[in-house]
Structure 1
Amino acid sequence: MTQQQPTPEAPQVTVRGEGRLEVDPELARIGVSVRARGTDRSTVLAALTSRNAEAIALVKSYGEAVAKLETGALSVSPEPARHGRGERVRGYQGWVHLSAELTDFTALGELTTRLADLEWTRVDGPWWALRPDSPAYAEARRQAVREAVRRAREYAEALGSSLVALLELSDTGLGQGGGHAPMGGARMAFAAEAVDAPAPMELEPQRQTVTAEVAARFTMAPPPL
């Protein structure tokens, strides 16, 4: 398609419009790692299987508050002896990584605390996010388009002219920030056994920044220069 060239009778103005929103998160993701180690392979596998099942059952007990639960990676490996020759094994270790996605933040603090209280279990997160189809993305795009039209109209009015037609509109970027990076999450180390159940941890959702950017090209009426 041949791009229309500006002429004195049909001058053009090209602008950029930006949209930016601060919204509450819709999802919270946590990572759960359960581990086991010992000198006997069968014992380690049995312990790992039991702890993994316990963690999964606990997450599933929160019902509809959990939108997604997945097993990510599994590892079981021997630990070679530090001294001596040959293939001597001094023990075995194994771990399973789970990831869970929650939509009900009222259950998040209690669940993460109870998971961290399990034996040889680590919890990472939460990482806050929006749903892929969140209306916040569409609103940011609408903001960007309105901003582009406003800027173009201001340029035209500064010349004593007005906009005539839209020639081109392109999406130059849409992004999300604020708590999305994995390093932004908290980490709870391997839990020790406790006599009493710990109090639920208070977690404050982190606001998400959604941005959109468009480039727009308009024709104007010839200005009275």
Structure 2
Amino acid sequence: MLASAIRRDISFGVLRPDQKLKIDALRQAYGGSTHSMRETLRMLTAEGMVEATSQRGFRVTSASEEDRQDILLMRLEVERLGLARSMERGGVAWEGRLVAAQHALSRADAAVQADPGDLTALQWDEACRSFAGTLVEACASPRLVDVAARFFNQSRRFRLARLREGGIDFAARGARRDALCRAVLDRDVPRALTLQAEDIRADMGA
């Protein structure tokens, strides 16, 4: 899928922040028709990965410190609301999905430490996305879930950069998420929200 390939290359820095995205060059690199490539770039624009410039086509969104702080702000606010509502509304089935997502993420943590190659890193990032998404999925607001996913996706470049640079404390990360799951299962809302915020800040390198 064109969007997946371009999204991956933006996340890994193959397509650099602020780089102009020319339709013909992208078609040579990724395939597809002019129409399908233009639609793909519009979709990635809606996700915040690409920006449409007036009369100038498309470019990769910037990845400055200001961008990181803004994405962090949005993740903290949106995901907090999503988790609080999920803990009010989620039942046993949601709890089971959360435990499964945490188990999958623990396995992905171990795998990426053993082999930090691009494929394993993408699988690890998908496990991160699944865990964060499961925390908010029982909020009974599809729009809130969509917004949370959008800003999580925009954080990928920062998370994968920290992974490549060896900046992730996996032991602390695992302990924090175990504690977060326990707090959710115990329906301890204040503790769960505190741990979630700590986890988002650590994920974003804050």
Question: What TM-score do the two structures reach when normalised by structure 1?
Answer: 0.22
More helix by share: 2
Question: What TM-score do the two structures reach when normalised by structure 2?
Answer: 0.24
Larger RCO, structures 1/2 (Cα 8 Å, 6+ apart) = 1
Higher radius of gyration, 1 or 2: 1
